[in-house]
A and B are shown apart, each in its own frame.
Chain A
Amino acid sequence: MQRPAPLVILKDVHLTLSSAAGAVNILSGVSLDIGPGEAVALLGPSGSGKSSLLMVAAGLESVTSGEVVLSGKEITRLGEDALARFRRSKVGIVFQSFHLIPTMTALENVAVPLELAGKKNAFNRAKAELDAVGLSHRVDHYPSQLSGGEQQRVALARAMAPEPAVLFADEPTGNLDTATGEEIANLLFALRARSRTTLFLVTHEESLARRCGRIIRLKDGRIVADEPHLALAKA
């Protein structure tokens, strides 16, 4: 059987950022392919470049050199606005700090990407997504009226609402207590399983990473290991 074309391709990606103390190499020649429906965990110590790699792959950050192809489109040379338009339908992102818009209700937060994408039934779909994360009773609440776990559920609903090709999650349980983190992780994997969306998960928790089919380890901006998770691979 022919292997389907990869959904995310990074070829020899370098990222150098300037800071007050001088140029800092964040990523040094990272190459990887992620196939459709894969769940990939990116593990590594603090400062290894995990979040930067996620940003590059999600089209949030421009690379210094190398090539990034996402969902069949080379995004390396796209401008800021073209990238934004591309993300509307192809990419969903969940942040460690939730990043909900404080002036909007939960429903409106979830509807925003749909509205940006010009979807007519944005609010109906947003409502359905909130139902799916168990927050149908909180639709009109503002972020400040929600707990951390609830905020991250809204963020998950928002990320999944446009039915993205890839869901990027940056330490989604990092700001939550153990129990709530567990709930969010369960929800994340449940939603992914339902939609068969490709998942790119940045974490420093081995246990969370083990729920993915593939684990990539990063150190000092380089991939030091890229292997299928045995338990799942065997399964």
Chain B
Amino acid sequence: MNIQEYISGGIIESYVLGLAGPEERAEFEQYCSQYPELVEARIAFEISLEQQALSGTTKPPAFIRENILQEIGKGAKVIPFKPVYGRSANIWKYSAAAAVLLLAGSITWNISQMNQNKTLSSNLEKANENIMGLVAEIGKLQQNPNIKMASLKGMDASPQSFATVYWDTASHDVFLLANNLPAPPTDKQYQLWALLDGKPVDLGMMEYNIRQKKLLVRMKNVGNAQAFAITLEKMDRPDPSKPGGDMYVMGKL
């Protein structure tokens, strides 16, 4: 096919403006994956359209901005949650230092399980480096007066599991420290949830890779939370905004 003719035939404009039918769209996307010049031409049109659309526009009334920012600050929509079968917990006030010690123990244990051989010492060195970096990162978090901490204790599915969530009450940033979570099966991954009035809010999937494990992971922001929980979820499940799998850890702020 003659890609230049296709490019100049109006399909780009039709696609970008949302006027193309489903078959045309599918065909266009297919060609985009084959012809970089088509993608370039599409982007050029998108930019010129954007520039034009941004010129001489009127500002919407200010209350709309207020409403929207207030609405998104409330967190996500309400979703019914699978009942939690946990034991009541009262030791939420672990210090960050204790968390690091537990993690150090966990990593050392993991490594000694993985390698009963000569690479042990170099791995241990790497682990130590990681831990030093982590201590520095947690130190920074601790200096921030807005940070609140939640210790997530193992539930019935995995009583040995343990994780820590740091939540910035001002910026709403969420950091997760996976102190001890078993390696998930290859078709599953962990997902973090904020709980507000018993309803879960998705804070994202955790990429789990024991060998290059990122110790302290930034998750999605959340405007408000009373507790946090981690579930083990199937990858590619139809609706990742709702929890479906077993709960591994949970803890209140």
B and A form one assembly: no
